[in-house]
Chain A
Amino acid sequence: EVQLVESGGGLVQPGGSLRLSCAASGFSFNTRWMRWVRQAPGKGLEWVANINEDGSEKYYLDSVKGRFTISRDNAKNSLYLQVNSLRAEDTAVYYCVKDGGSNWGQGTLVTVSS
């Protein structure tokens, strides 16, 4: 059974940083594209970043370029999202997603507020 378990969210002040993690199991992690998708409270869904199987290709939403970094450790079956220079508008539940959305984690909430 595919499992994706996010962690690392929390309350952070504007301008602060967090590192989100996603522990993957139940599939061959090193053969799949992985993504981060976010959902602001009461709002719709927004793709944030993609990373290919070996980490050599990365794509970002324009509004997070230069502030967020997606990475992976295939030896640890883990996906990461380093989020820096956080803004109020980054407040959202961040989901770890496999492939084109076939599996989602439960999400981790990032709240940016002073």
Chain B
Amino acid sequence: DVVMTQSPLSLPVTLGQPASISCRSDHSLVNTDGDTYLNWFHQRPGQSPRRLIYKVSNRDSGVPDRFSGSGSGSDFTLKISRVEAEDVGVYYCMQDRHWPFTFGPGTKVDIK
């Protein structure tokens, strides 16, 4: 199975400041169609996960533009340009290039 790692696992942030989460996979996530199948999800306490980013850098509908995804191959980053209070929770990267799809362990973001 593809192993996804994230860092840091805990991220205290200051409101209004930027934040960044790293995600790495032990296999390339580039498909034969040329797309890279790496997604980012956000889960607030007590809620279902919500996808923020698909195929590395594409924001889902309704996702604020302060969220951005970047990276290639097996090394990826989620950035929040200015953290807001509603951004707390756990962020997961996930690959859907190889079955079984796998998630990273999650990065818990809270306010300092």
B103 in contact with A106 (CB, 8 Å): no
Q: Chain A residues near B60: list those with CB within 8 A.
A: 102
Indicate if A101 sits at the interface (CB-CB under 8 A): yes
Q: Chain B residues near A95: list those with CB within 8 A.
A: 48-49
The count of chain B contact residues (Cβ–Cβ below 8 Å) is: 21
A59 in contact with B103 (CB, 8 Å): no
B92 in contact with A44 (CB, 8 Å): yes
Which residue from chain A places its CB closest to the CB of B96 in the assembled complex? A100
- Residues 85-105 of A, flagged 1 when their CB comes within 8 A of B and 0 if not, give 000000000010000111011
> Shortest 6 CB-CB distances between A and B: which pairs?
A104-B48, A47-B101, A45-B103, A101-B51, A100-B96, A59-B99
Interface residue ranges, B against A (CB under 8 Å): 37, 39, 41, 43, 48-51, 54, 60, 92, 94, 96, 99-106
